[in-house]
């Protein structure tokens, strides 16, 4: 029986075969995914994971693919999409969100409800679960400042609560990044009451700044490199004349040198080779080891 049929028999939610990688990565990379599964509940997710583990089938949870580079043009496994984990509850200063919720949507919703704390996330195009994994952040804030606790499925497939202090949030990293078998299901935020008008002005102002400084008109996965201490990766890359350089359809953005953009049919390999070229030249010229902020998936 085909894998698709076997998974459908489990009756855990939508199963989609042969999906285009471009629909699952904000880079819009060329290639194909064997299968995408959309579990409807925690029990469905458990059943799915048990099956995948028992049968030794490669798998991973995917958010919006806004931080991922699939290096090969075929993902020979199952991507688990948590879009069905999409509830949002607001009660006074507490917000509970499903891991599959779109972070931008959540940031707008809580800001419009007059809650301060998530406005930094209004331009970060991931999911709430992906943002915990990455400790996504901007403008001097990040998830670590606003998360109270999260609900996870642990490696034994048990539901557990992890408090903020357990999550080891640091610059673009968290406990989840070091413990890949934990899956974030839900996040509880503690926020502070404030003025809707001020929050919406802040969001609008930052949106205009992003639009003028970042190449948002092309597919990308945001900043490629972490900023080295006391410097900017973009400055070093620009100084080396990389703006506009390309491998295939992967180009270093003319607008912001720390962005690689897809001008059409870029593959993960094109992006990776360009990243390696930049890393090598920056090391050679400045003796700086640039660290990538995005994640390679084999």
- Using the minimum distance from each CB to ligand FAD, give the nearer residue, 129 or 282: 129
- Contact with ligand FAD (CB under 6 A) among 21, 35, 49, 68: 68
Q: Find the catalytic residue in 46, 172, 210, 226.
A: 172
- Using the minimum distance from each CB to ligand FAD, give the nearer residue, 144 or 222: 222
Q: Per CB under 6 A, which of residues 258..297 are in contact with ligand FAD?
A: 295
For residue 102, state whether it binds ligand FAD (rule: CB under 6 A). Answer: no
- Token readout for 253 is 């953005």
Strands 74-81 and 59-62: parallel
- Is 83 in the active site? no
- Using the minimum distance from each CB to ligand FAD, give the nearer residue, 33 or 68: 68
For residue 66, state whether it binds ligand FAD (rule: CB under 6 A). Answer: yes
- Is 223 in the active site? yes
- Using the minimum distance from each CB to ligand FAD, give the nearer residue, 130 or 144: 130
The answer to whether the CB of 250 falls within 8 A of the CB of 266 is yes
For residue 79, state whether it binds ligand FAD (rule: CB under 6 A). Answer: no
Closest separation in Å from C-beta 65 to ligand FAD: 4
Q: Please, how many CA atoms are within 13 Å of residue 118, restricted to the half-sphere of its CB?
A: 32
Please tell me the total number of residues recorded for the chain in this structure: 298
Q: Please, how many CA atoms are within 13 Å of residue 113, restricted to the half-sphere of its CB?
A: 19
For residue 98, state whether it binds ligand FAD (rule: CB under 6 A). Answer: no
User: Nearest-CB residue to ligand FAD?
Assistant: 63
Gap between the Cα atoms of 150 and 191, Å rounded: 15
Strands 147-153 and 74-81: unpaired
Gap between the Cα atoms of 211 and 80, Å rounded: 31
- Using the minimum distance from each CB to ligand FAD, give the nearer residue, 136 or 247: 136
For residue 97, state whether it binds ligand FAD (rule: CB under 6 A). Answer: no
The three-class DSSP label of residue 29 is coil
The answer to whether the CB of 112 falls within 8 A of the CB of 142 is no
For residue 175, state whether it binds ligand FAD (rule: CB under 6 A). Answer: no
- Contact with ligand FAD (CB under 6 A) among 95, 124, 271, 282: 124
- Is 195 in the active site? no
- Using the minimum distance from each CB to ligand FAD, give the nearer residue, 115 or 137: 137
Closest separation in Å from C-beta 150 to ligand FAD: 9
DSSP letter at 225 equals: B
For residue 189, state whether it binds ligand FAD (rule: CB under 6 A). Answer: no
Q: Find the catalytic residue in 66, 97, 223, 253.
A: 223
Strands 68-70 and 295-297: parallel
Could you write out the three-class secondary structure of 74-132?
EEEEEEEECCCCCCEEEECCEEEEECCCEHHHHHHHHHHCCEECCHHHHHCCCEHHHHH
By CB atoms closer than 10 A (0-12, 13-18, 19+), residue 284 is exposed
Site string for ligand FAD, 14-43 (x = CB under 6 A): ------------x-----------------
Interacting residues with ligand FAD (CB under 6 A): 26, 60-68, 82, 99, 124-127, 129-131, 133-134, 136-138, 172, 176, 183-184, 216, 220-222, 295
- Residues recognised as catalytic: 172, 223, 293
């Amino acid at each position: 029986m085909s894998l698709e049929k076997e998974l459908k028999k489990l009756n855990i939610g939508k199963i989609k075969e042969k999906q285009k990688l471009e629909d699952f990565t904000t880079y819009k990379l060329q290639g194909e995914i064997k299968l995408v599964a959309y579990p409807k509940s925690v029990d469905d997710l458990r059943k799915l994971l048990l099956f995948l583990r028992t049968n030794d089938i490669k798998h991973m949870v995917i958010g919006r693919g806004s931080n991922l580079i699939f290096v090969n043009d075929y993902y020979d496994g199952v991507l688990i999409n948590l879009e069905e984990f999409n509830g949002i509850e607001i009660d006074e200063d507490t917000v509970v969100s499903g891991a599959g919720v779109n972070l931008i949507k959540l940031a707008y919703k809580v800001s419009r409800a007059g809650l301060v704390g998530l406005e930094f996330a209004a331009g970060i195009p991931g999911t709430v679960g992906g943002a915990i994994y990455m400790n996504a952040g901007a403008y001097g804030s990040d998830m670590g400042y606003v998360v109270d606790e999260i609900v996870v499925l642990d490696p034994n497939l048990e539901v557990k609560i992890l408090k903020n202090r357990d999550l080891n949030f640091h610059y673009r990293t968290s406990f989840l990044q070091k413990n890949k078998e934990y899956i974030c299901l839900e996040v509880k935020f503690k926020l502070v009451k404030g003025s809707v008008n001020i929050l919406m002005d802040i969001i609008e102002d930052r949106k205009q700044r992003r639009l003028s400084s970042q190449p948002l008109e092309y597919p990308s996965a945001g900043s490629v490199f972490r900023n080295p201490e006391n410097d900017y990766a973009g400055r070093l890359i620009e100084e080396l004349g990389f703006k506009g350089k390309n491998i295939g359809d992967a180009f270093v953005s003319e607008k912001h040198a720390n962005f690689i953009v897809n001008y059409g049919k870029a593959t993960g390999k094109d992006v990776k080779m360009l990243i390696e070229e930049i890393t090598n030249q920056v090391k050679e010229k400045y003796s700086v080891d640039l660290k990538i902020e995005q994640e390679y998936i084999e």
